[in-house]
A and B are shown apart, each in its own frame.
Chain A
Amino acid sequence: MTWPIGRNRRSSSREVEVDSTAVRVVAASRLAVAVIVAALGSFLPHITGQRAAVFFLIDLAWVPWAAVVLFASERAGSQLARVGGPIGDLAVLATAQILFTRADVPQVNAAILPGYVVVVVFAVYTLNRSLAAGVGVASIALPTFAQRLFPPAHRLGAAVLTPYALSVVVLLLLIERTTRLQTRAASRYALLSTKADTILNHIADAVLVTDRRGTILQSNPALARIVGRGDETLTGHSCEELLDLHCGERRLDCSAGCALLRPDLTDETGLGVEVWRTGLTGERQPLLGSATRVDSDEGSVEVVHSIRDITRLKQAEEAKTLFLATASHELKTPLTVINGFADTLAHYEELDKDLRSAALDAIRGRAVELTRIVDRLLLSSRIEAGRMHLTCREIEVGPVISSRAASFGAATGREIVATLDGLPTALANEDALITVIDHLIDNAVKYSPGGEPVEVCAAADDEYVRVDVTDHGIGMDAEQAAHCFDKFWQAESTDVRRFGGTGIGLYIVQSLIEAMDGKASVRSERGAGSSFTVRLPRPRQPEPAEAAPPAEGEATSIREFMRQIGVPERRA
């Protein structure tokens, strides 16, 4: 993932990021002030001439303009809202100043100056530097220029205008600087905070911060996952009680501070020390743990822990060891036969034709078996490497199943019963489907050593075409059924010797089915047999038209008015 750090830095250095909420608040405040001033003005008795003109200006120009600016502020980044508001304010203030003073209300000439200051303050906060400077200059120029229109007696002197202009400039510089620093800091903080949160929320390692006594102050979702607490908040729990870590056969004692900080448990590589805890199922959960002490300036001590669940790593190591043993065994058996017959053919040239032909058939048969084992291993390797891309199209599932069942029946001499109920088409890759059916029937035949019949049933529902391959063989218990699709997995280590196989058949089945957007599952009972089910998606039907909104709400006055004025419906 790429973080847009560079772009944010550039934009924040050029101009202050606009605070849309501030723009909206200013726009709403402006409208409120305009309506209140307009309303109060209309209550004044005997307003005529230029005084009335000021209120006409406020009523018929400023109020509508303030409303337009407020509406515009609803659109994020609206230039009209940002720039139009202060410009309108300045125009109204300048006109009011001139009209009131010419209407012989000279006290307004000075009283209106704070109004300019308010406009400048809001403008600096909501505009960029150059526009804010423009508003500042205008707020000095307009009242200064207005003085020329007044009778000399009503003009403001340099003693008033100079401090006013200085105040505007100082305010402009100070607020602009403060706003810029605040925005930059907020932007950096938000960026860092987002980065940190994103990293912590998405990494697989658990990160938790505890205080000196081991109480959890902060933790990421991975901790809850590792300790099997779902989405539970773990803040406030005792780290020692929650994790209950062991190193070797010794329980880690954190009563005198975090045990992972002790020198004998500190790993020089920084990767952490191997520990374990008892998982939810009662099995050992291997973990890699490390801790770092953080001393704050205020004297408080916090400990940042990192916990990595290495269960899968350990399982993979074990599985690969088992696989090497299994694959060697599987490869060695046909190789021994091939080697033996090849030796026989080489040393006994006088063998009669029938014996020679039988030896060659045996070599050919074992070579086919070897090819099949190597093909499975290669397919497994392609799946693992993510190089499996299946192109799915509408295919008839029935003929594929019938053909594979008949072929297996003929090859093994076992009874394969296929029950197909008027199957619709499915979205699948034909070659992959053949591999899946072959693996499942082969599996069913292999694990029903008593020669019981194997049943292949296929049916369809609205979404999927479902194929069940059922045997009445040795079956599996719930724990074994839960893991049977794992790579290199076999129900019992003795199965390797008893039934042969590499333990990747069902892994290939599940991978191929998922690559076709289907689902694979199993139901099994120890001693009663297993039923493997694969579901393949059916071609999508056109989506039905969106349901009408609930009739109950339509009869209401509010919903009806909304409907008639065209307010768009949205999903909650």
Chain B
Amino acid sequence: MKLSVGIANLILGSVYMSYGVMTLLDLKRGWKTRGFSHFGAAWVAMAFTCGPHHLEHGLHVLSSGRAAGPLDLVTVLVGFPAGIIWFLLRVEALSGGRGDRFISGTPRWLVAAAYVAPLYLAATTVAAITILAQGSYFTPRMTPNVLLLAVYALVGYYLLRTQLENRPEAGGWSVSGLSLSVVFPTCGLMHITFPIYAATGRYDVEWHGLLIDWLAVPAAIYFVWVVRALYLGNLNDWNERQPQVPAEPAMAR
């Protein structure tokens, strides 16, 4: 289990860091034509704080004797496929491909997944309470991950709401959108397992992990702020369409 948790976290951390690098390249490429993107910067900030969290945790599990917990392994494994799918789609897009797939209609497995999701959430909650009931001790060092759960869940909510709104018109689902909708809540759950095990004394909260998590909090809040400001139209970003043809001069009368 220790090896699985360690390796899974290392891969996930690397994947998130790769998202960050891809987005940085994107940001650099589009800067000249579209200007600076707050959305891109916020996404980079999230990727470069969430990624190091997983890398740091994986390294501690593999090399510093941190005792990996089963709930940690479950949450990582559940979020893993969605993260990998989104990552591969982005790699495909970066190399000139489509970067998305379309699921026509709503297949049974997707309906089943929608039912399984609350069951999974309930099971995780029960497992968390069971672990905490064995004897727990909370300190303020555990709170950044609690805040991250809330913010990531909010981002997941925004994503899922968009997928549900798009479905009737599109007549199906975007794989890119669905995977992203799964990535955020599951990543939030991965983060919450950390303070749960820390409260029971299984994980130690050392200063570098704490620093990364406290940097992740403003990064995540920045991201939500950007998304909200873009909804309200208070921010200029890459959602502003570029004119396709130069505007014609006004005709003299």
Question: Which residues of A are in contact with B by a Cβ distance under 8 Å?
Answer: 31-32, 35, 38-39, 41-43, 47-48, 52, 55-56, 59-60, 63-64, 67, 70-71, 74-75, 547, 549-550, 553-572
Contacts and interface: CB of A to CB of B under 8 A. Distances in A.
24 contacts: A38-B144, A39-B214, A42-B139, A42-B214, A56-B140, A59-B144, A70-B225, A71-B224, A550-B241, A555-B93, A556-B29, A556-B238, A557-B19, A557-B22, A557-B40, A558-B37, A560-B93, A560-B176, A561-B43, A562-B230, A566-B161, A567-B230, A568-B230, A570-B241
B77 interface: no
A556 B147 contact: no
B150 interface: yes
Given A564-B159, A568-B239, A558 B43 contact: yes
Interface residues of B, number: 66
A32 B240 CA distance: 29
Interface of B: 19, 22-23, 26-27, 29-30, 34, 37, 39-40, 43, 90, 93-94, 96-100, 138-141, 143-144, 146-147, 150, 155, 158-159, 161-163, 165-166, 174, 176-177, 180-181, 207, 210, 214, 217-218, 221, 224-225, 227-234, 237-244
A412 B238 CA distance: 67
Given A564-B174, A570-B233, A553 B238 contact: yes
Contact of A59 (B147, B210, B239): B147
B103 to A, nearest CB: 14
Contact of A74 (B39, B159, B162, B234): B234
Contacts of B217: 35, 39, 63
A565 B162 contact: yes
A564 B176 contact: yes
A56 B138 CA distance: 9
B164 to A, nearest CB: 10
A441 B237 CA distance: 58
Contact of A571 (B39, B94, B224, B240): B240
A353 to B, nearest CB: 58
Contact of A35 (B93, B98, B214, B230): B214
Contact of A38 (B34, B143, B162): B143
Contacts of B177: 563-564
Contacts of B239: 559, 562, 567-570
A42 B227 contact: no
Contacts of B241: 549-550, 569-572
Given A31-B218, A553-B34, A566-B166, 7 more contacts: A67-B225, A547-B244, A550-B244, A558-B43, A561-B43, A562-B237, A568-B230
A38 B26 contact: no
A482 to B, nearest CB: 12
Contact of A43 (B94, B96, B181, B207): B207
A38 B228 CA distance: 24
B228 A71 contact: yes
B155 A565 contact: yes
Contact of A561 (B98, B144, B180, B210): B180
Nearest to B20: A557
B34 to A, nearest CB: 8
Contacts of B29: 556
Contact of A572 (B93, B232, B242): B242
Nearest to B230: A567
